[in-house]
Amino acid sequence: MYRGRLKRDLDDWVKRGLVDAETAGRLLEDVDRRSSNYSLGTVLAMCAAALIAAAILMLVAANWDQVPRTVRVAGIVFQIWLYHGVALLAHQKGYGRISAVALLLGATAFGAGIQLIGQMYHLSGDSVTAMLVWFSVTAISAFLFRSPALAVMAGILSIGTWWVGIWTGDFEWRPGGLLSHWQPVAALVVAAASAWTGADRAKHLAYWLFIAWIWWLVVESNSDFGISMLTVASILLFLALTLKVSPLAGLEAKLGESPAFYTCLVAMIGLARYQLEANGAFSIAVTGCILLGFCILAIMLKGRDNTAIRYLAYSAFVADVLYLANETIGSLLGTSAFFLLSGLVVAIVAFIVVRVERRLSKPVGEVTP
């Protein structure tokens, strides 16, 4: 996406004479060198690894009744060592794609081995414990091999573990309980693996796991005060990350645009919850105006620089307007009056923003003594 936009901009700048073709070519080469080296071959290799991994899991699901127990265990152990040995050899030879595929197969074989051993020997335990072991070993392998593919797989397994716990009912909120508080540790592990291996996409999985854990705790505790504090804290943190006068504004250069986006997302979820629970025309109008105001504020602060926040704010704005239109039809507020009031407010905000942008864009005059 970024490369495509940059190429279009460079082509336009070359036509307009702003940069020469040689400089544009060097810029694209630098982007390609620092990118994730996307290629069709890599995608096909990962698809092949996923298909083979699915075949391994299906073989385990069949339970191998006709195969002796010792042979089954030896086969799984042999596969684990074989895949990791191939990955190590390929890594030393410089074949990164083969190493990534072998590591994915090795991690999948380990997960299948956990399931197989549990089936054969009827070991006590639950699915969450097995998933936690699988996630832990995969994360360790990601650090040891410095594998972006395993970092992403560890992130997926962390979310899968959380979902299995919710689905089976094994997760119950208890202050100080391990199953209630392992998620932030897993999120930190995935984030560290993402930074260590260079797998930028894996950090989003860490954000999703951490956000899901926070909301799960808040919902399970049935505390309106907790939801209010989470929403207010998210709004304040978003402002701290986006306002230029804030001491935290410099973190964006180090951490990227993700922290601002996810704090904005959490804040919008909290505001939307109050919007959906509001009763009466006045309460609906007030909560709606607050949510719409935050959407406009997000666009004003980061709409130009952060595409994800801009699209999120646009979507939330449109969804809230449609919800308000549906809820206020026939009420004292009136749909037409609401749209008129909203239009006037947005027009005033737009006028102020345009004037401020024009004032800020004027060059500062030179001061002479």
Q: Which of 154, 220, 231 is nearest to 192 (CA)?
A: 154
**pTM for this prediction:** 0.70
Is residue 162 domain-resident?
Answer: no
pLDDT reading at 40 higher than 50: yes
Task: Say what the pLDDT of residue 368 is.
Answer: 39
Give CA–CA dist 296/156, Å, rounded.
33
Higher pLDDT, 75 or 239: 239
Task: Say what the pLDDT of residue 267 is.
Answer: 92
Is residue 342 domain-resident?
Answer: yes
**Structural element, H or E, at residue 91:** helix 69-93
Half-sphere exposure in the Cβ direction for 17 (13 Å, CA): 0
Is residue 316 domain-resident?
Answer: yes
Task: Say what the pLDDT of residue 366 is.
Answer: 42
What would the mean pLDDT of 273-284 be, rounded to a whole number? 82
Most confident of 228-232, 247-251, 303-307: 228-232
Higher pLDDT, 337 or 1: 337
CB-CB contact of 138 with 107 (8 Å): yes
Task: Say what the pLDDT of residue 242 is.
Answer: 85
pLDDT-based confidence at residue 140 (cuts at 50, 70, 90)? very high
pLDDT reading at 321 higher than 70: yes
Compute CA distances 368 → 342, 361, 362, 365, whole Å. 47, 21, 18, 9
Is residue 247 domain-resident?
Answer: yes
pLDDT-based confidence at residue 139 (cuts at 50, 70, 90)? very high
Give CA–CA dist 59/77, Å, rounded.
15
What CA dihedral angle connects 173, 174, 179 and 184, to 10 degrees? 80
pLDDT in tens, 67-85: 677 777 787 788 888 888 8
Is residue 120 domain-resident?
Answer: no
Q: Which of 212, 210, 221 is nearest to 186 (CA)?
A: 210
pLDDT in tens, 173-204: 555 555 667 888 899 999 999 989 888 888 89
pLDDT reading at 335 higher than 80: no
Residues in the chain: 369
44 C-beta neighbours (distance < 10 Å), count = 11
Domain that holds residue 319: 223-359
Token readout for 365 is 């005059």
- For residue 320, with 0-12 CB atoms within 10 Å meaning exposed, 13-18 middle and 19 or more buried, which class applies? buried
Most confident of 27-36, 152-161, 322-331: 152-161
Our CA angle for 12, 13, 17, nearest 5°, is 120
Task: Say what the pLDDT of residue 217 is.
Answer: 75
Task: Say what the pLDDT of residue 155 is.
Answer: 92
Q: Structural domain tally of the chain?
A: 2
- Residue in the structure block whose two tokens are 């899901």: 212
Task: Say what the pLDDT of residue 60 is.
Answer: 58
pLDDT reading at 364 higher than 90: no
pLDDT-based confidence at residue 365 (cuts at 50, 70, 90)? very low
Task: Say what the pLDDT of residue 296 is.
Answer: 87
Is residue 78 domain-resident?
Answer: no
What would the mean pLDDT of 109-130 be, rounded to a whole number? 76
- Residue in the structure block whose two tokens are 């003594």: 369
Q: Which of 78, 98, 76 is nearest to 87 (CA)?
A: 98
pLDDT in tens, 103-116: 888 888 888 788 77
Among 24-28, 50-54, 226-230, 235-239, which is the least confidently predicted range? 50-54
Is residue 111 domain-resident?
Answer: no
Is residue 88 domain-resident?
Answer: no
Give CA–CA dist 201/182, Å, rounded.
22
- Residue in the structure block whose two tokens are 């994730």: 36
Task: Say what the pLDDT of residue 114 is.
Answer: 83
Give CA–CA dist 187/151, Å, rounded.
11
